[in-house]
Amino acid sequence: MLRKYRLQLITLAVLAVLFIMAIQGMSAKDGLTIVIRGLSVGAVTFLVASGLSLIFGLMDVLNLAHGTLFMLGAYAGWTIYVRPDTVVDLIPPLALLLVGLVLMPLWPVLLGRLGRMPAAVWGWLGLAMAGVLLLISLPSIPIAAWSARDYAQSPVSYAIMLSQGQLQFPPAEATGPLSPAVALGGVLLAGLVLGGSLTVLSQRHRGMRVRGQATPPQSPPKGRRISLSHWERVGVRATAAGLLLLAGLLVLALNDNLTAWLLGLGTNWLFGLALIGGTLTAAALGGLMEMTLIRPLYDRPIYQLMMTLGLAVVGHELVVALWGRPEFTMPKPALFNGVGDGCPAESWAAWLELHCSTILVLGGRIRVYNEIFLIIVGLVVLVAVSLLLQRSRLGMIIRAGVQDSDMVEALGINVRRVFTLVFALGAGLAGLGGVLAAPSIGLSPLMGESVLLMALIALAIGGLTSFPGAAVGSVLVGLMEQFIIKYGQIGIPLPFLEEPFKPSPTLVPASTVLLMVIILLAMPQGLFGRTE
């Protein structure tokens, strides 16, 4: 047992000694602050790294667009938090579009009645038609948005206004010529056409290919397999579509009331909604990305890597186009934003009363949101995902699939669906990280890149496919970064130098890479990686 883990134990011992040496070089107050800050940076890194490691472990996809999902989550969260009216305006068209996608399983039944599945060209034509319909309809739906060009109407101004507690929204406006009812009908139709053409395109792959040419797909086997359960599934889908349609129309009818209600909730609840919304947005985008773009490329890893890299660029441009270039802030929720008399809080009891933004611990000032809340959320996610992996059937399938996904499929499990789920889960965690990090690091179209780099380094340190490894690697990277920043201020006294050596800020990212290089030299598989 001891022999097996000898190298791991030695590496951990060396790291512990280095850690103690580093902390000896400063006062207890500074040491505590640095450790807490390191853990908090580690927590945000972990939210990105954990998804990356799940996706890489199960699907062998190194998702270079993960930082972009982190960023998109942050921007979606900001929108819910600062402009709830825009989100309410967007819900009806989105719900109507989804109706068509939810009804996708109906299409094979309908088309099956007609005899055979139409050729792929009809799928592409349908896709184009849905696009045109959306382009015509969407501008005619009244939506209140910000303007990236006009400073008074820009995200920057709205962020400032929210932090001052006074938000005033412009009225919803439509730029297209159609009446809103016709436009909404157009969106609904576009969703149905979209669902139909996607069904045609995905069914195309079911037929057997003979020398590169697709033969017509066969009808499903007769008898017991397709019978009641199939119709049951169709019924469930139809009910879901009906509810979606109803919800969309309800939101449309109660638009103003809903906006007023959301604003009345206050920043704490809105922030909670932003966390949920940012997570779901990133998860949906991740799932969509896996289904449409990554899936056809599982046999071609290099293309896949290029694809995720390209998506990262596209995501960056998308954010610049929608939210504008300038960086802006996301005000902290009231729970963590108290100032004035009695702040920073002297004790936890005082904090609970005043909700100060900072608290005194051992004489050092600690920011409650950045340095305590983030760590707690990181721990909660760590425990929740570990439980999911160890206790649930899905977790069991993921752990088995990491080793041999073909064998899992041969057991009768739809591995492709599990892939999509895990991709969405990983993307959702990144989105959650984005919303959480936004109040402390601010929003910018480049915010995803540095986090992605940190997460990749953390992953390499922890062993690419190991989930605990991702956690340990993230914490190590966070601590390393914070220690180097601190030593950049106080300097490291070296015996052969007159003046203490002060690492410059540019050495901060280099130090984490150095840590990775040293660990990988000692353990080429990373701390928790395994040799295959």
Partner 1 sequence: MTNLLEIHNIHTFIGQFHILEAVSLAVPQGSITALLGRNGAGKTTTLKSILGLTPPSEGQIYFEDQPIHGYRSFEIAALGIGFVPEHRAIFRDLSVAENLRIAERRKGDLRRKEEFIFSLFPDLKRLIHLPGTNLSGGQQQMLAIARALVPDNKLLLIDEPSEGLAPVIIEHMMAAIRQLSQEKTVLLVEQNFIVASQLAERYVIIEEGRSVKQGLMADLVDDPATIRRYLGAA
- The neighbouring-strand residues paired with 256 are none
Backbone angles phi, psi at 526, to 5 degrees: 85, 175
* Residue 334 or 421 with smaller CB distance to partner 1: 421
Among 230, 237, 355, 399, binds partner 1 (CB under 8 A): 399
Among 227, 257, 392, 414, binds partner 1 (CB under 8 A): 414
* Residue 402 or 515 with smaller CB distance to partner 1: 402
Taking the complex as a whole, the smallest distance from the CB of residue 210 to partner 1 amounts, in Å, to 6
Taking the complex as a whole, the smallest distance from the CB of residue 10 to partner 1 amounts, in Å, to 23
Please state at what angle helix 415-441 crosses helix 267-289, rounded to 10 degrees: 140
Contact status: 149 vs partner 1 (CB under 8 A): no
* Residue 217 or 272 with smaller CB distance to partner 1: 217
Contact status: 413 vs partner 1 (CB under 8 A): yes
95 to 114: interface string for partner 1, x by CB under 8 A: --------------------
Taking the complex as a whole, the smallest distance from the CB of residue 93 to partner 1 amounts, in Å, to 34
Residue 72 corresponds to which tokens in the numbers above?
């998109």
Backbone angles phi, psi at 414, to 5 degrees: -75, 90
Residues 110 and 89: their CA atoms lie apart, in Å, by 33
Contact status: 408 vs partner 1 (CB under 8 A): yes
User: Interacting stretch for partner 1, rule CB under 8 A, among 43-51, 264-272, 409-417, 438-446?
Assistant: 409-417
Contact status: 415 vs partner 1 (CB under 8 A): yes
Cα separation values, 331 from 147, 195, 270, 430, Å: 19, 39, 12, 20
Residues 230 and 214: their CA atoms lie apart, in Å, by 26
Contact status: 400 vs partner 1 (CB under 8 A): yes
341 to 380: interface string for partner 1, x by CB under 8 A: ----------------------------------------
Among 132, 309, 410, 522, binds partner 1 (CB under 8 A): 410
* Residue 149 or 222 with smaller CB distance to partner 1: 222
Contact status: 142 vs partner 1 (CB under 8 A): no
Contact status: 407 vs partner 1 (CB under 8 A): yes
Contact status: 55 vs partner 1 (CB under 8 A): no
Taking the complex as a whole, the smallest distance from the CB of residue 220 to partner 1 amounts, in Å, to 9
C-beta of residue 212 within 8 angstroms of C-beta of residue 119:
no
Taking the complex as a whole, the smallest distance from the CB of residue 409 to partner 1 amounts, in Å, to 4
Contact status: 76 vs partner 1 (CB under 8 A): no
Element (H, E) at 135: helix 120-137
* Residue 21 or 411 with smaller CB distance to partner 1: 411
Cα separation values, 379 from 123, 306, 426, Å: 46, 33, 16
376 to 395: interface string for partner 1, x by CB under 8 A: -----------------x--
198 to 237: interface string for partner 1, x by CB under 8 A: --------xxxxxx-----xx--xxx-x------------
Cα separation values, 12 from 46, 202, 512, 523, Å: 19, 49, 16, 11
Taking the complex as a whole, the smallest distance from the CB of residue 31 to partner 1 amounts, in Å, to 38
Residues 11 and 19: their CA atoms lie apart, in Å, by 12
Taking the complex as a whole, the smallest distance from the CB of residue 481 to partner 1 amounts, in Å, to 32
Taking the complex as a whole, the smallest distance from the CB of residue 406 to partner 1 amounts, in Å, to 5
Taking the complex as a whole, the smallest distance from the CB of residue 413 to partner 1 amounts, in Å, to 6
Binding-residue total with partner 1 (CB under 8 A): 31
Sign of the C-alpha dihedral computed for residues 459, 460, 464 and 470 taken in this order = negative
- Longest alpha-carbon distance in the chain: 87
Residues 461 and 457: their CA atoms lie apart, in Å, by 6
Of 459, 463, 389, 398, the residue nearest 430 (C-alpha): 459
Taking the complex as a whole, the smallest distance from the CB of residue 414 to partner 1 amounts, in Å, to 5
Residue 301 corresponds to which tokens in the numbers above?
């890893």
Element (H, E) at 331: none
Contact status: 300 vs partner 1 (CB under 8 A): no
The burial of 271, by beta-carbon neighbours within 10 Å (0-12 exposed, 13-18 middle, 19 or more buried), is given as buried
4 to 33: interface string for partner 1, x by CB under 8 A: ------------------------------
Cα separation values, 34 from 44, 49, 388, 453, Å: 16, 21, 32, 21
Please state at what angle helix 415-441 crosses helix 374-391, rounded to 10 degrees: 170
Among 416, 449, 508, 520, binds partner 1 (CB under 8 A): 416
Q: Where are the beta strands (DSSP E) in 262-409?
A: 358-361, 364-367
Contact status: 173 vs partner 1 (CB under 8 A): no
C-beta of residue 55 within 8 angstroms of C-beta of residue 429:
no
* Residue 219 or 450 with smaller CB distance to partner 1: 219
- Give the binding site for partner 1 (CB under 8 A): 206-211, 217-218, 221-223, 225, 393, 396-397, 399-400, 402-404, 406-416
